[in-house]
Amino acid sequence: KNGEEMSIIALNQVGYVPNGVKEVRVVKEASTFKIMDSKKKETLYRGSFKKTIDDNASGEKVYIGDFSDFIITGKYIIEVDGLGDSYPFEIKPNIYSELSNSLLKMFYYQRCGTDLTTELAGDWAHGPCHTDLATIYGTDKKLDISGGWHDAGDYGRYVGPGAKAIADLILSGNFTPTLLEEIRYELDWMLKMQDKESGGVYHKVTTPAFIGNVMPDKNTTGLIISPISSTATGDFIGVMAMANRVFKDIDPNYANKLLLAAEKSWLWLEKNPKVKGFTNPKGITTGEYGDEQDGDERYWAAIELFLSTSNQDYHKYAIESFTKNKWDGLDWANMGTYGTLSYILSDSIDKDESFNKLLKSEFLQTVETISENSNKDGFGISLENNYVWGSNELVADNALRLVIASKLTGNKMYMDQAQRHLHYLLGSNSLSQCYVSGFGTKTMENPHHRPSTTVGKAIPGMLSGGPNKNLQDPLAKSKLSGSAPQKCYIDAEPSYSTNEITIYWNSPLYTLVNSFVLQE
Ligand code: G3I
Ligand code: 9MR
Ligand code: ZN
């Protein structure tokens, strides 16, 4: 009998690094557990549930057993007295390297405008998609906007979300040829989204409406380029200027091209200081990514431009803007923290010492709150009650903040807390659900993702959006009413508000996992 049949015995179904935090959680009264080899021949460790937490988000009393001091490489099962067996798990150095590769490979699977070969894409291979010229909304003008990554389960390509995804991948600092090639694929597309005259950046390129379940190369409805937005323009600048420093030594010409494009777009922002947030124009019903506040995108843009050019005008803009507004956020609507992190992690000699101090203390204050919330939480994560659309991204984002804060301060507790966030996403939660397709025993199998649905099998390495207490699709409404926030999740294709996948949910998880890949 496994954890599901008997009771929830929650743990990281992928596994643990030997020196990592290791815990098992149950939601029924239990006192002791033992670790056995995977054939259950031998008992190798005995432990007890020493701690309990009344957990609001899951509505459960959570019993926590710690076995961090069990560090022997191997494959195991935990038997909890009276409750049964856990799913199997492993302890091993580099336990996350396959997961890391797979999370990155997801971006390849999301590629638009190119052949996905059978050799590389297996059952999900398809011909080049969305290669026709796209029409600028409200005009007869057509442009080549081929390339980039499909955003999610749909085939739209949106600038803001793409910028977050690239920024996260860059934050990993793991500049392998594969990663560089992948981000370049999206950057090249994004360059095409810039209006070459004004420097403004188009918000998105999509079909007018969401389409049915077909492979991307079978979707030939006309593509429309939605109008320029200030948020897309700010995000474009942020990521172009950031990528400039990544490619500077590798390919100086390319790096320069990215920076020139970013500076050109800044002129558009300067000419358009007050603009309304993007809303779908008449006749377009695909993802809106509406965001009325563009101050955070402008701030991020200014920081990256300053770090790449040393031009004090950008510096001044960023200092004034932040001092007034304390921009924050690592999600598609709030991008301020990307600017802050670039600044405090940079070794540029042009930095302003007192501004650096301010940014650092604001960032560390946010992390302190995350840390306190994690300590109070039954599963050791920091969402409190914030289980909204894409909640798993917020888990990964907060974990990333903890990792970075741990590096900045040397506080090891932050690293332990970051690991619990990872454990949550890989099965240590009140549903015992591993939210990454192809990984774990109770793995996510039915994503809202057109290629996976069409082929009849989920592409591996994709992070589901996860629990969403707002029940924003018909299936969630009918099946989940009355469920605790952390349980508002269904592994079913129609539930786009709990089980879609996106490039910008995979990206923070990739970067998080990467910070543990090399850990012993
Ligand atoms: O944070 C708010 C909270 O303040 C508010 O009170 C509460 C009540 O509704 O919800 C929270 O906001 C939610 C927001 O996501 C959080 O980011 C909204 O309800 C929710 O509607 C919104 O969902 C967005 C969704 O599109 C619908 O617009 C998701 O963030 C966004 O990731 C998702 O993106 C879609 C694209 O449009 C199309 N492509 C797929 C992609 C993923 O599903
Ligand atoms: O497939 C769409 C998904 O990518 C979006 O995130 C979601 C919310 O905007 O919408 C999905 O499309 C659904 C549409 O909104 C309503 N009719 C059913 C569509 C597919 O399930
Ligand atoms: Zn495509």
Choosing from 151, 331, 384, 389 the residue with most ligand 1 atoms within 8 A of its CB, the one to mutate for a pocket test is 389
| pLDDT (0 to 100) of residue 1 | 38
Q: How many A from CA of 389 to the centre of ligand 1? A: 5
Q: Domain boundaries in the chain?
A: 97-351
Tokens of 118: 């059978």
Catalytic residue among 126, 130, 315, 448: 448
Nearest to 147 by CA among 160, 165, 159: 159
Catalytic (active site) residue 353: no
Contact 143, 131 (CB under 8 A): no
CA dihedral for 402, 404, 408, 411, sign (positive or negative): positive
> Nearest residue CA, atom 13 of ligand 2?
210
CA distances to 110, 159, 166, 209 from 193, rounded to whole Å, are 18, 8, 15, 20
> Nearest residue CA, atom 5 of ligand 2?
496
Nearest to 200 by CA among 268, 250, 256, 146: 268
Catalytic (active site) residue 491: yes
424-457: buried (b, 16+ CB within 10 Å) or exposed (e) per residue?
Answer: bbbbbbbbbbbbbbbbbbbbbebbbbbbbbbbeb
CA distance linking residue 167 with residue 240, whole number of Å: 10
CA distance linking residue 439 with residue 458, whole number of Å: 11
CA distance linking residue 504 with residue 246, whole number of Å: 20
Q: How many A from CA of 210 to the centre of ligand 2? A: 6
CA dihedral for 321, 322, 326, 330, sign (positive or negative): positive
Q: How many A from CA of 124 to the centre of ligand 3? A: 13
Catalytic (active site) residue 448: yes
Catalytic (active site) residue 154: yes
CA distances to 12, 441, 510 from 434, rounded to whole Å, are 8, 7, 15
Catalytic residue among 154, 393, 397, 473: 154
CA distance linking residue 241 with residue 228, whole number of Å: 19
> Nearest residue CA, atom 3 of ligand 1?
388
Atom of ligand 1 nearest to the CA of 500: 43
Residue 41 φ/ψ region, left for φ over 0, alpha for ψ in the -120 to 50 degree band, beta for the rest: alpha
Q: How many A from CA of 435 to the centre of ligand 1? A: 19
Atom of ligand 2 nearest to the CA of 286: 9
The residues lining ligand 1, judged by C-beta closer than 6 Å to any ligand atom, are 151-152, 154, 156, 287-288, 388-390, 470, 472, 496, 500, 502
Chunked mean pLDDT (size 10), the chain, 520 residues: 61 96 97 97 98 97 98 98 96 96 98 98 98 98 98 98 98 97 98 98 98 96 97 98 98 98 98 96 98 98 98 98 98 98 96 98 98 98 98 98 97 97 98 98 98 98 98 98 98 98 98 80
Tokens of 209: 């409406």
Which amino acid belongs to residue 443? T
CA distance linking residue 185 with residue 316, whole number of Å: 33
Q: How many A from CA of 289 to the centre of ligand 2? A: 14
Q: How many A from CA of 150 to the centre of ligand 3? A: 6
Contact 237, 260 (CB under 8 A): no
Tokens of 281: 């124009």
CA distance linking residue 300 with residue 341, whole number of Å: 10
CA distance linking residue 288 with residue 204, whole number of Å: 9
β partners of residue 60: 55
Tokens of 398: 């907060």
Atom of ligand 1 nearest to the CA of 287: 37
Choosing from 204, 496, 497, 498 the residue with most ligand 2 atoms within 8 A of its CB, the one to mutate for a pocket test is 496
Tokens of 113: 């405008």
Assign domain 97-351 one CATH number from 1.50.10.10, 1.10.3720.10, 3.10.310.30, 2.40.40.20. 1.50.10.10
Q: What is the DSSP string of 65-76?
A: EE-TT----EEE
Q: What is the DSSP string of 114-173?
A: S-B-HHHHGGG-B---S-S-EEETTSS-EE----SB--BSS--EEHHHHHHHHHHHHHT-
Contact 86, 80 (CB under 8 A): yes
Secondary structure tally for the chain: helices H, strands E: 17, 14
Maximum Cα–Cα distance for the chain, whole Å?
73
Is 206 in a helix, a strand, or coil?
strand
Nearest to 510 by CA among 107, 30, 92, 40: 107
Tokens of 367: 């992390």
Residue 335 DSSP code: -
Q: Is the CB of 501 under 6 A from ligand 2?
A: no
| pLDDT (0 to 100) of residue 518 | 60
Residue 10 DSSP code: E
Q: How long, in residues, is the chain? A: 520
Q: Give, for 515, the enclosing helix (H) or strand (E).
A: helix 503-517
CA distance linking residue 447 with residue 110, whole number of Å: 14
CA 464 centroid distance within chain: 10
CA distance linking residue 170 with residue 173, whole number of Å: 6
